[in-house]
């Protein structure tokens, strides 16, 4: 398994492989870039098929955090952690997260962890018994998901404004893939704004509950791409915009909270050629990390006001992409790199 020659390696400052025999912890922490400040990024727990799959994920996700934090205007770098484990089969979850906390602590504050897919604020609270370098704890900034949902909702509104010239979502059809922590709150915002929802999830029971709460239609997971909708909102896992799914899309807009939505950068170009407006994932889903950045002396009003800036940031990216006739993802990357390099210490 190559690291420095890995296709997703992007001058990451540190890649730390963590193993604790007693708890069974197997984790990788990637600190991508700390030019703007300590690296912030959640800890994902997933039943990866291979170590290489986990490495690819952590390298890509940590780079995304650097770009996300830069474009959100935060004095924070980018990092991420992945724990290689099956969340459903965990003999001693507390021991695992204490061991994880000890590894985070050894990094001495160059990386701050938080919850992500497969982990919860409760897990991070346990890690915090071993290290102060964690964020998003209950009683402080708390669960980031409602803020990620707010930012995603405002990002969808910015895309609708730019592409369809409308301020309201009334009567627009939105297909949401994944009604988990973020997807659920996003559905609430969309429903309150008058959107008609088409939902899918791999958990039929929660899907039925959410659909009934928001008067939504449900479809099978594979059917979500081909729905005749205005907006497709990927809110599950990454790489759902790929060679198989793009030909199926009928939506005019792709805007959702999932990380790493484009399987490859060229899919951003392909969306542009199809006339689909793509809201770059790490810009639209920055609401949670923006809220976390207010962890010390938490002030919800200030955090919310900063999350609301996502609307304007996306409009700027969309307009610049039109002006330069380039994919929105490329424009976002370029803007982020300018911020990161301009403030190099």
Asked if residues 185 and 155 have their Cβ atoms less than 8 Å apart, the reply is: no
Annotated binding-site residue? 117: no
In order, the DSSP letters of 180-226 are SHHHHHHHHHHHHTT-EEEEE-S-HHHHHHHHHHTT-EE--GGGSTT
Q: Which of 64, 178, 280, 327 binds ligand NAD (CB under 6 A)?
A: 178
Quickly tell me which residue has 């610049």 as its tokens.
320
Residues 6 or more apart from 345 whose CB is under 8 A from it?
35
Interface stretch with ligand NAD, choices 8-16, 232-240, 306-314, 318-326 (CB under 6 A)? 232-240
Which tokens hold the place of 97? 């997260």
Interface stretch with ligand NAD, choices 95-103, 144-152, 246-254, 311-319 (CB under 6 A)? 144-152
- Interface mask toward ligand NAD for 54-93; x: CB under 6 A: ----------------------------------------
Quickly tell me which residue has 């990454």 as its tokens.
238
Q: Which of the residues 68, 80, 157, 163 is marked catalytic? A: 80
Interface stretch with ligand NAD, choices 102-110, 124-132, 141-149, 165-173 (CB under 6 A)? 141-149
Q: Is 145 in the site for ligand NAD (CB under 6 A)?
A: yes
End-to-end CA gap in the chain:
32
Q: Which of residues 194-213 bind ligand NAD (CB under 6 A)?
A: 200-203
Q: Is 182 in the site for ligand NAD (CB under 6 A)?
A: yes
Q: Which is nearer to ligand NAD, 73 or 180 (CB)?
A: 180
Annotated binding-site residue? 194: no
Q: Which of 34, 119, 177, 245 binds ligand NAD (CB under 6 A)?
A: 177
> Catalytic: 80?
yes
Q: Is 235 in the site for ligand NAD (CB under 6 A)?
A: yes
Q: Which of 62, 113, 131, 285 binds ligand NAD (CB under 6 A)?
A: 285
Q: Which is nearer to ligand NAD, 244 or 343 (CB)?
A: 244
CB contact burial 31-63 (16+ within 10 A = b; e otherwise) = bbbbbbbbbbbbbbbbebeeeeebbbbbbbbbb
| CB-CB neighbours of 23 under 10 Å | 19
Q: How far, in Å, CA of 316 to CA of 63, rounded?
A: 22
Annotated binding-site residue? 179: yes
Q: Which is nearer to ligand NAD, 49 or 344 (CB)?
A: 49
Asked if residues 53 and 99 have their Cβ atoms less than 8 Å apart, the reply is: no
Least distance in Å: CB of 234 to ligand NAD? Answer: 8
Q: Which is nearer to ligand NAD, 181 or 272 (CB)?
A: 181
- The secondary element (H helix, E strand) that includes residue 14 is strand 14-20
Q: H helices within the chain, ranges in order?
A: 51-71, 93-106, 121-127, 145-164, 181-192, 204-213, 266-273, 281-284, 287-292, 300-324, 328-342
Q: Which is nearer to ligand NAD, 60 or 162 (CB)?
A: 60
Least distance in Å: CB of 292 to ligand NAD? Answer: 9
Residues that are catalytic: 80
| Footprint on this chain of ligand NAD (rule: CB under 6 A) | 116-117, 144-145, 148, 177-183, 200-203, 221, 235-238, 257-259, 285, 288
Annotated binding site for NAD(+): 178-183
Annotated binding site: 178-183
């Amino acid at each position: 398994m190559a690291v420095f020659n890995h296709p997703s390696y992007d001058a990451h400052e540190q890649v730390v492989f963590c193993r604790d025999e007693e708890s069974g912890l197997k984790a990788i922490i990637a600190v991508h870039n700390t030019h703007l400040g300590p690296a912030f990024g959640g800890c994902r727990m997933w039943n990866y098929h291979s170590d290489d799959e986990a490495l690819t994920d952590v390298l890509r996700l940590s780079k995304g955090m650097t770009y996300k934090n830069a474009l959100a205007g935060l004095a924070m770098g980018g990092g991420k952690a992945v724990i290689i484990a099956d969340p459903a089969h965990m003999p001693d979850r507390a021991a695992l997260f204490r061991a994880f906390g000890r590894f985070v602590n050894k990094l001495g504050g160059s990386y701050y962890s938080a919850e992500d897919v497969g982990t919860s604020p409760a897990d991070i609270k346990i890690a915090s018994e071993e290290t102060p370098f964690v964020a998003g704890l209950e009683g402080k900034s708390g669960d980031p998901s409602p803020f990620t949902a707010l930012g995603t909702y405002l990002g969808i509104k910015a895309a609708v404004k730019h592409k369809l010239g409308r301020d309201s979502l009334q009567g627009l059809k939105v297909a949401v893939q994944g009604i988990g922590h973020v997807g659920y709150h996003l559905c609430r915002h969309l429903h309150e704004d008058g959107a008609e929802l088409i939902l899918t999830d791999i958990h039929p029971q929660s899907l039925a509950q959410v659909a009934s709460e928001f008067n939504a239609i449900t479809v099978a997971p594979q059917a979500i791409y081909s729905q005749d909708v205005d907006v497709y909102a990927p809110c599950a896992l990454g790489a759902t915009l790929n060679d198989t799914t793009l030909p199926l899309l009928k939506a005019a807009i792709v805007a959702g909270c999932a990380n790493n939505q484009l399987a490859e950068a060229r899919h951003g170009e392909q969306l542009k050629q199809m006339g689909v407006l793509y809201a770059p994932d790490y810009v639209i889903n920055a609401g949670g990390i923006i809220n976390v950045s207010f962890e010390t002396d938490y002030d919800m009003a200030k955090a919310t006001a900063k999350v609301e800036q996502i609307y304007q940031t996306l409009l700027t990216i969309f307009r610049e992409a039109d002006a330069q006739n380039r994919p929105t993802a490329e424009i976002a990357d370029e803007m982020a790199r300018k911020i990161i390099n301009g403030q190099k210490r």
